[in-house]
Structure formats: C-alpha cells, structure tokens
Structure 1
Amino acid sequence: MAELNTGGDGGKGGKVRSKKMNPGVDLTAMVDLAFLLITFFMLTTTLSKPQSMPLAMPDKDPEKKIEDNTKIPEERLMTILIGSNNRVLWYMGKFDTPTIPPTETVFGKNGIRKDLLKNVKLGKTLAAKDGKPDQGLVVNIKASDKASYKNLVDMLDEMAITDPQLYAIGDITPGEIDLLKKTGLY
C-alpha cells in the first residue's frame, strides 16, 4: 500500500523520507504448536522403568525355616566358583568326588555360557532317561571374597539366559577356597 506524504518543508527541494517500521512477528501460533508437540510426545512415549532381576531369598525368620533335604543326583549338580579377575571354576557333582573335574573358564558366550548350555542339555537328557522330564540341571553359585559384585550379577544373567531348572547362591567352603588358591583364581 502506498503512503502519501503530506508534510514537508513547503516544496523547497527537500527529500521525501519514508517512515521506517519494525516488522513484528506473532509467535502465538508457534508457542501453541510447541506445547501441543511436547504434550503429545510426553503422553505417547513410555517412560523407561528400572529393570531388576527377580531373586528369591530365603526367609530370615527361623520359625518359618523349612528344612528340605531333597537329594540331587550328582550328575545334575553343577557348582560354579567365582574367582578373581573375571575367571570362573566349575565342576559337576560333589566337591570330594566330582563327576566332571574342576574346569577353569571365563565369562561370556564362549566361556561359562557354553559350558552351562552343554550341562543343561545333559541334565535334561539324564532326567528324561530316568523318567523325570520335569527335572534338569541344578546350579550352585559360590562367589569368593575376591570376586566382584559385577561378576555375581553377570553369573545371574547367565542363569537367566541358559535357564537351568534351579539355581542358588551358596556359601563357599574352605576346601573350595583352597582349590581356587591352587589354580591361581583367588
């Protein structure tokens, strides 16, 4: 739109100057859109929840303690000893007379997981042969005082991955500590 300048200096050759105006931007629509987008994404995304592994612990009340003396066949019992420097020692059967002698391994898919999967399969095969297909490998996890908390959590993760029939965290015996010392894992 053209603007007519009626003022002046009476026609004495003065320059005609146009008025300078600062253009204004209306941000109301952009603010509304921003709040709508924020509200939409807050309502449609799921907030991440902390993940924890379920772990059954025995009851500390001595009156509620139930004695369970279930005999586990030696072929289905695997004991895992967690030593220092991310190393593991495992054996099958009893400590005094193992059916598979102590074997050193490491964490990971080519270490303890491979051994666990092999023994889970062996436990299921032996249980099926005995006519008890609902039974399988029983794992006893024992961490030395030189083991890190991370190693214990990693071992619990391996239990979740390999899915043995039953696993427990037990106390390490002095004989097993001596075995770890002898093999250099303590």
Structure 2
Amino acid sequence: MAAIDRPAPKAGKKPRARKHNFRLDMTPMVDLAFLLLTFFMLTTTFAKPRVMQLTMPVKPQSADQNEPLRASRAMTIMLGAGHRVFYYFGLNATTDPSVPAPTLHTTDFGPKGIRQALLARGRQQPAPVVLIKTGPHAKYSDMVDILDEMNITGQSKYALTDLSAADRQLLPPSERQ
C-alpha cells in the first residue's frame, strides 16, 4: 500500500492547519489487473500451425497400372547450395549414348525464378510430372520452399526422389561433392 508521510512541524512556529496524509490503496487495482490478465489469457486463440496437405500415391494393384514416366512430361528440379535451383526438362537417360544430355538451367526462389519456370512448363505441357531432387548442400528450408512452389503453381504430380549419379554429373563441380 502506498502512503506519503509528512514530517511534523517544528516547535516554536505558528501551528498551521494540519494536512491529512495522502494514502492510496492499490489493492483493487492489482486485483483488476490480474482479473484482466486471466481473462485475456483464457479467451485468446493461439496461432494454429499451417500444414500443407500431402497426398501419397496408392500402390497399384496390378502391373498394368504401373506405366513408366515419359520424358516429354517430366521436369527435374535439383536443389543446390546457396538457395540455387537447377532444373532441366525431361529425364536424364545416360544409358543410351545417342540421347544428348539435357540442358541444365540455373535459377533461384525469387519472383522470376523457379515459379516462372514451372508456370511456363505447365503452359507447354499440361499436367507435367515434377521430380524434386536434393543436392548434398541443399538446406531444409529449400525443400520447404520448393514444396510451397508446387502448391502455389498448382502442380498435381510431383515426387521427391534421390539424386542419381547421372544428375550429379550435370551439376557444376562445386555442387557435386
């Protein structure tokens, strides 16, 4: 409790009108503060985590349903160090030497980056299949960013796959290790 004490007047002086000491009781204000604090803590809603829906493919019942992926529908994205994204169109089939190696493009997650490449591929080839591969220096945030891009651009078919030795040869030397 707050109280202000004033010293008593000295002897030999004319007595003045006695001033009453000021006393402020803070108990009700503290009670009100705790009641408000409790009220707001109990009535607030906490931020709900944002979760992206992932649909896993169903295992085919027969061998007839499992058809191979055509290179004309494929787009391969490889995640590298420094938030760089490498991509090429088609599949890297190095088993046949008569097939030339695909052209590797480099971009990033900026406004004119991988999103524009995905949208352009969607205009060229409706319903492409995107293969996402992580390089040895890729960060987890890059994987989250590319999954967000898949969701933003409306890609219905994409897969997370391992980086093959043939794909590793396409990467720049600094990314291969």
Normalised by the length of structure 2, the TM-score is 0.71
Q: Distance in 1 between matches of 2:172 and 2:13?
A: 105
Given the alignment, which residue of 88, 91, 96 partners 1:91? 88
Who is 1:7 aligned against? none
Structure 2 CA distance for partners of 1:98 and 1:161, relative to 1, 3 Å: farther
Given the alignment, which residue of 144, 149, 154 partners 1:158? 149
Contact 1:77 1:139 in 2 (8 A): yes
Task: State the SS of the aligned residue for 2:46.
Answer: coil
Q: Distance in 1 between matches of 2:151 and 2:42?
A: 33
Contact 2:78 2:132 in 1 (8 A): yes
Structure 1: stretches of 5+ with no match in the other structure: 1-12, 125-135
Q: Distance in 2 between matches of 1:37 and 1:65?
A: 59
Aligned-pair distance for 1:115? 0.3
Report the RMSD for the aligned CA atoms in angstroms: 3.2
Contact 2:108 2:114 in 1 (8 A): yes
Structure 2 CA distance for partners of 1:55 and 1:165, relative to 1, 3 Å: closer
Name the aligned partner's letter for residue 156 of structure 2. Answer: Q
Task: State the SS of the aligned residue for 1:160.
Answer: helix
Contact 1:142 1:169 in 2 (8 A): yes
Name the aligned partner's letter for residue 116 of structure 1. Answer: L
Q: Distance in 2 between matches of 1:111 and 1:85?
A: 14
Aligned-pair distance for 1:120? 2.3
Does 1:16 find its partner at 2:15?
A: yes
Q: Distance in 2 between matches of 1:38 and 1:98?
A: 69
1:1-186 maps to which residues of 2 (within 5 A)? 15-55=14-54, 69-96=66-93, 97=99, 101-124=103-126, 136-181=127-172, 185-186=175-176
Structure 2 CA distance for partners of 1:82 and 1:122, relative to 1, 3 Å: same
Contact 2:135 2:175 in 1 (8 A): no
Task: State the SS of the aligned residue for 2:103.
Answer: strand
Contact 2:75 2:88 in 1 (8 A): yes
Q: Which has the larger radius of gyration?
A: 1
Name the aligned partner's letter for residue 106 of structure 2. Answer: E
**How many residues are paired up?**
158
Aligned-pair distance for 1:71? 3.1
Task: State the SS of the aligned residue for 1:47.
Answer: coil
- Give identity over the alignment, percent: 43
Structure 2: stretches of 5+ with no match in the other structure: 1-11, 94-98
Task: State the SS of the aligned residue for 1:151.
Answer: helix
Name the aligned partner's letter for residue 121 of structure 1. Answer: R
